[in-house]
Structure 1
Amino acid sequence: MDWTLKGFDALSLHELYDLLVLRSRVFVVEQTCPFLDLDGLDKHSDVLHLLGWQNGELVAYARLLAPNVVKPDFAVIGRVVTAPEARGGGLGHQLMETASAECERLWPQAPIYLGAQARLQGFYSRHGYRPEGETYLEDDILHIGMVRP
């Protein structure tokens, strides 16, 4: 697995296209959730894109947001996604380990927040994330905030 971490301006057109296709395949098509994925945050100067490549194909992705971009005092991991054909071999765990480690390296004093789909709470708990607050609906999918101190 080859991991790259880049700001918006450093992404090639092909990388940008691949990450948008992966996010659309999973979040819009697979999860049958029509929502505006392009929320304006991707190109923010304090947002980084973690891309996981396998045999030249993008198979994993997460968006890392510096503290205070969307949540005061918290780094945020969002848009966590793996390609359907690459699931079942621990790739999601590799993605979360890498994303969490990068947040800790970049913003060592900040706890990490993520808005998890409630059904994946156990998955994120395995990576040190703990529920915070009540469940909530986002795009008709039940979510819960989770924090890793």
Structure 2
Amino acid sequence: MLNTFMNYQLDWRFQTFDELTTIELYGILRLRSEVFVLEQRCCFLDMDNKDQLSHHLSGYRDGELMAFSRIVPPGVSYEYPAIGRIVVSPRGRGAGYGIELLNASIQKLEELYGKVPIRIGAQLYLKRFYESFGFRQSSEIYLEDDIEHIEMTRAIQ
């Protein structure tokens, strides 16, 4: 299902796993590998069997994937629905795509599940960024792939 968002720079697609084309899925996995594996130097299994259960939000500029997140149903990662695999392409950084991605992710999650608490697993250095969207730290710091992380929860707004 293709959706447009008012006043956004990117062209957004919001799809279930089964609605993704092989080309779209390849682009998503490539972007996630580019950032999470190569750039952040993390050796981890990105394909965790949650993609098939999730909705996927992809932002394109001139046909190139610039931003991505997945909306994970409640009970899969946490008791609340979650926004995960939040990533902006290195070629799109500094253009406000991260802000646009989070706004669109929250909007789509609330369309699916209503006004509910939202959970994320965040890299610690992005704490202030997520706080600007109403998320608050809800766990102690933990290491994931040698990067400090925290769980953050956004209360019902």
Give 1:69's aligned amino acid.
Answer: V
Q: C-alpha separation between the residues in 2 aligned to 1:99 and 1:121?
A: 17
Identity %: 45
Which residue of 7, 10, 31 corresponds with 2:40?
A: 31
* Kept after mapping to 2: 8 A contact 1:132/1:146: yes
Q: Residue deviations 1:1-38, cap 9 Å, x none?
A: 11111111110000000000000000000001110001
Question: Where in structure 2 are the equivalents of 1:15-54 lying within 5 Å?
Answer: 15-44=24-53, 47-54=54-61
Q: Unaligned regions of 5+ residues in structure 2, if any?
A: 1-9
User: What SS is found at the alignment partner of 1:19?
Assistant: helix
Deviation at 1:67, TM superposition (A): 1.4
Q: TM-score, normalised by structure 2?
A: 0.91
Deviation at 1:109, TM superposition (A): 4.2
C-alpha RMSD of the superposition: 0.8
Q: TM-score, normalised by structure 1?
A: 0.95
Give 1:114's aligned amino acid.
Answer: I
Deviation at 1:134, TM superposition (A): 0.6
Question: Where in structure 2 are the equivalents of 1:1-149 lying within 5 Å?
Answer: 1-44=10-53, 47-72=54-79, 74-149=80-155
Q: C-alpha separation between the residues in 1 aligned to 2:49 and 2:75?
A: 15
Q: C-alpha separation between the residues in 2 aligned to 1:59 and 1:102?
A: 18
Q: Residue deviations 1:64-104, cap 9 Å, x none?
A: 011122212x0100000000010001110000010011111
* Kept after mapping to 2: 8 A contact 1:8/1:49: yes
Q: Unaligned regions of 5+ residues in structure 1, if any?
A: none
